[in-house]
Structure 1
Amino acid sequence: MFRQILLILSTVLLTSANVAHAAAPTQHYSLAMLQQDFQQLYQDLQRGSYDLFAHYPKTRYDQSFEQYLVKIDSPMTELQARKHFMQFVALANIAHTRIDLPAAQYRDFVKAGGKTLPFSFNINGADVRVASYFGSSEQVQVGDRVLSINGTAIAAFLQPLQRYVAADNSTLRDRLTEAQLTPLLWLHHGEQDSYSMTLQHQVTGESYSMQQKTLSHTEQAEHSSAHSGEGAKPRQYKIIADNVGYLQPGPFYNIYAATDAEIWDTTEFHSFIDEAFTALLKADVTAIMIDLRGNPGGTNSFSDHMLAWFANKPFRFASDFRIKVSNLSRAANKARMPENAPADAISLQLEHFYAGQKQGEVLSFPLSYSQPHSKERNISATDIQVFILIDRYSYSNAVSVAAIAQDYQFATVIGEPTADLATTYAAMETFTLLHTGLIVGYPKALIIRPNGNTQPAGVTPDIQLPFLADANDSQHSLFQIADYLKKKTGTELGAGQ
């Protein structure tokens, strides 16, 4: 799989899928063990990473290594070691260079009735707003500004949390902090009884203070259900106005997988996409809006099938896929390669690619082109306009889809710029530290977007919709977008669904 899911959503932390090492929480590792693991950590990051020092110079990283090594002055538990090592790895400022949050421990904490802050935030530097609230206070409204927590200005309060977060830029770091807020609070502070908060009403501008008790997952769910209706379907299509079709493809992986092996089974997704486009064509739509807002990504083996419905030429997700050869990546690839792998399996292609190459070499991996569907299943020759809707929460392969559509001019990209990158250090591999068993991720490749732009950057829409940033109601913003499409396409759109 060329592109990996970047975002670790807090809900994923409640599953056991990410748990690969289950050391006893109270087990202590000796000073010698920790020092050996820390030295292995830095050495292997340099050996395997495409460019560990792309955003943080080697001279500074070497100095940080010595500083962090000195701080290892006594035995540590697995959690203590993880926290220390996480912060060191995050200095690289590369999203795929990371040690993940302790999924097993956080899952057990939540299942045991552990209490967390019943908020989610929209974070834009020092401007932090309430995104959702799962408590009982009638004062708190979505959109209210958070000024301080526990007497500390909000930017300073979040700063130590963000030291654990691996990200290529501050915007992406803010997005990932939003997604992992409660696990990060638990990781850094442990369980708290309450938080003292000062907020500012969005409408009146008046400040107010509150002592917010932490709540269990069950308690927060009760408050959530009292303010929400039926949950949205992960994949859906419909007519949102007279002649505008709406398609929300959902994640580009098998969301109904019962086992790890089924996650990359494309059968359900391909069937859904074929059904959606067939139905929208029968409805005589004049435009199709494909909603990738909040999409966590996945792999192009799913998304290429969707793109092939409106592509008018062969396409691929990158203009270049540059891989650094290392024994670490070879071993990681070999470990996941199934027996009797088919000739077109990516792991087998990589095995052949690595054969005979020297460690440290950087080579371009040969990428094949995906083909448009046949005329009966392709709308590129029709008058139907295609719009790709993205936002700051579009990640990984969702960003790749937008870049392909934009660079090949398959569709008009609308929305707001993505925080995640189209040209990026990715294709993450992992290695395991000898004593603590901590799993460390690193990017073995530089993926360059189809237009050849080598600068790490997100996708900027062809047409930006600034109201998306302030939209508290996704459905309301959808009608605002439909109104835009009405003006853009010249089609008279209705207000109802």
Structure 2
Amino acid sequence: MKYFSTPVLRVRVFTVFLTIISLPMGWACAQSNPDYDFNRMLEASAVREDFSAFRAAIDQHHPDLYRYRSKQSLDGLLDSCQASIKGPMNLVEFNNLVRYAVSAIECGHTSAGMTGEMMEQYAVSTPVFPLKLWFAGARAFVLCSKTENAPAGSEILSIDGEPIEQIRQRLMRYLPSDGKIQTKKNATLNNDAFVLLYNFVYGAKASFQVSLIPPGASSREIGLQSTGFKQTLCPAYKTGINGKPLEITYHAGSIALLGIRTFTEPDMPAFLETTFQALAQKDVDHLIIDLRGNGGGQDMYGALLYSYLTTEPFRYFSALTSREKPVMTTSDHAGLEVQQPSKTRFTGKVVILTDGRTFSTAADFCAIARSNGRAVFVGEETGGGYQGNNSGGTLRQTLPHTGLQISVPTIRYTNAVRPGQQTGQGIIPDYPVAASVSDMLEGRDTQLETAIRICND
């Protein structure tokens, strides 16, 4: 493996559910994909071979399978998954099995499941639950609906007699995340994954019995017919995460809002230099950095951003390891060097907005800012861990019999942070604020409102 004389790109793994969000733009191309028979039974021997291939890939290449779970615990779970293959399985059943196994690894950069082509065909050809749901804690609400009996804002109590929180907890077992972080899983459900994952786990259904409470009404039971996936999609609700990749705006009270949706933009260094020069010229006292929905990107862009917020040299990564190189040095990765503050520095108050999709490089930056006490955090726990993650140099492999694809990170990153948070947690906000369904429907950004209020206090 070649190590890193240039910045390393680390973004969230494109799981099948992140891929499927882009379906409306590529709808027509689904017709040219190969045909997949999702109900065709695969011989037990073929399924066992594919699970063995999956397990061999993670055993050989994952840099730290036991970062969050003991070897005995994880190996026992993987053994039980393999032992559960007692007969033929169809593609959906095997997809569920490997997704359950990946979730148990507790690594948000590891994935396994259907390819994008498979998911496109499944979404086009298989009816799904007809309502777009928004999960807020243990409750679920209708975000948009084409059904008069279940208007937007209705609270869903149960589906086919099963309480919605029980359903949510079951589905979460099939979604990857770093450690014990739940916000990333919840964000995945809220971004169009629910209807597909519900189909996978509970089976495709023609109809549903739903218990709900419409706005301003009493609870009721209604029957719903399944519909096409495309019919469940909502308009893009504005909650502060639907802006340009890089954007700076100015607000009253000497407040600037810096929106960074990704750390992948090649012109980010020039953008940051221009932006922080402008902040100095405009005498901005308060800077809000919006990292909601930022799934990561170039390693060193996170360190670069922090260099504009400090007057002192700082460490960014304390250690990087891999199977091929157990001890990496500054010649392998610039993030192991002592980082220098930028000549253009912002010394005012900093507030950082985060949510469950603040992941990978974005979470690393947040960890350094939290460790050094440089910012106040508003929103939700980050989707990426405080201590670091397993990412970089991703290995992708297609399983020979089922065609499912696996993605395995190859480098263990340890952030240069002070102790203080439980292992397996993200960056916990100082001011926890989660968007409610009414916020979504009204287009109200209560997280940003809270950040502005903090700046004005």
**TM-score normalized by the length of structure 1:** 0.72
Distance change >3 Å, CA 249–CA 79, structure 1 → 2: same
Q: How does 1:82-481 map to 2 (within 5 A)?
A: 82-111=95-124, 115-124=128-137, 127-130=138-141, 132-137=143-148, 140-142=151-153, 144-167=154-177, 168-169=179-180, 171-172=182-183, 173-179=185-191, 180-189=193-202, 191-200=204-213, 206-216=218-228, 218-220=230-232, 224=235, 232-235=242-245, 236-254=247-265, 266-267=266-267, 269-321=268-320, 323-326=321-324, 354=325, 362-366=326-330, 367-374=336-343, 377-380=344-347, 384-427=348-391, 429-432=394-397, 433-453=399-419, 455-461=423-429, 464-468=430-434, 470=436, 472=440, 473-481=443-451
Distance change >3 Å, CA 218–CA 445, structure 1 → 2: closer
Counterparts of 1:312 and 1:406, CA distance in 2 = 16
- Cα displacement string for residues 224-275 of structure 1 (whole angstroms, at most 9, x for unaligned residues): 37x8899942343222323211111211124xxxxxxxxxxx12x3344344
Residue 298 of structure 1 aligns to a residue whose secondary structure is strand
2:190 maps to amino acid: E
The CA deviation at 1:128 is 1.9
Counterparts of 2:367 and 2:241, CA distance in 1 = 29
1:290 maps to amino acid: I
1:12 maps to amino acid: T
Aligned to 2:12: 5
Distance change >3 Å, CA 467–CA 56, structure 1 → 2: closer
Q: How does 1:50-65 map to 2 (within 5 A)?
A: 50-65=63-78
Distance change >3 Å, CA 114–CA 241, structure 1 → 2: farther
The CA deviation at 1:387 is 2.0
The CA deviation at 1:486 is 0.6
Residue 319 of structure 1 aligns to a residue whose secondary structure is strand
The CA deviation at 1:283 is 3.6
The CA deviation at 1:386 is 2.3
Moved more, 129-138 or 402-411: 129-138
8 Å CA contact retained: 1:3, 1:426 = no
- Cα displacement string for residues 25-79 of structure 1 (whole angstroms, at most 9, x for unaligned residues): 2376443332222223334322333332444444444544454334334444444
8 Å CA contact retained: 2:378, 2:451 = no
- How many corresponding residue pairs? 423
Counterparts of 1:88 and 1:478, CA distance in 2 = 37
User: 5+ unaligned residues in a row in structure 2: which ranges?
Assistant: 1-7, 331-335
Counterparts of 1:199 and 1:209, CA distance in 2 = 7
Distance change >3 Å, CA 245–CA 194, structure 1 → 2: farther
**TM-score normalized by the length of structure 2:** 0.78
Counterparts of 2:281 and 2:226, CA distance in 1 = 51
8 Å CA contact retained: 2:181, 2:426 = no
Aligned to 1:35: 48
Counterparts of 1:164 and 1:72, CA distance in 2 = 17
8 Å CA contact retained: 2:160, 2:209 = yes
The CA deviation at 1:308 is 3.0
Moved more, 107-116 or 284-293: 107-116
Counterparts of 2:99 and 2:380, CA distance in 1 = 30
2:105 maps to amino acid: A
* Residue 46 (str. 1) matches residue 59 (str. 2): yes
Distance change >3 Å, CA 128–CA 8, structure 1 → 2: farther
Distance change >3 Å, CA 272–CA 211, structure 1 → 2: farther
Residue 222 of structure 2 aligns to a residue whose secondary structure is strand
Distance change >3 Å, CA 23–CA 424, structure 1 → 2: farther
Distance change >3 Å, CA 242–CA 150, structure 1 → 2: same
Counterparts of 1:216 and 1:241, CA distance in 2 = 46
Distance change >3 Å, CA 410–CA 163, structure 1 → 2: closer
The CA deviation at 1:149 is 1.0
* Residue 72 (str. 1) matches residue 85 (str. 2): yes
Instruction: Give identity over the alignment, percent.
Output: 18
- Cα displacement string for residues 331-364 of structure 1 (whole angstroms, at most 9, x for unaligned residues): xxxxxxxxxxxxxxxxxxxxxxx4xxxxxxx434
Residue 458 of structure 1 aligns to a residue whose secondary structure is coil
User: 5+ unaligned residues in a row in structure 1: which ranges?
Assistant: 255-265, 327-353, 355-361, 488-497
8 Å CA contact retained: 1:4, 1:396 = yes
Residue 313 of structure 1 aligns to a residue whose secondary structure is coil
1:90 maps to amino acid: S
Alpha-carbon RMSD across the aligned residues, in angstroms, is 3.6
Residue 91 of structure 1 aligns to a residue whose secondary structure is helix
- Cα displacement string for residues 350-399 of structure 1 (whole angstroms, at most 9, x for unaligned residues): xxxx4xxxxxxx4344423443333xx3334xxx3222222344222221
1:422 maps to amino acid: Y
Counterparts of 1:447 and 1:274, CA distance in 2 = 27
Counterparts of 1:205 and 1:270, CA distance in 2 = 53
8 Å CA contact retained: 2:142, 2:150 = no
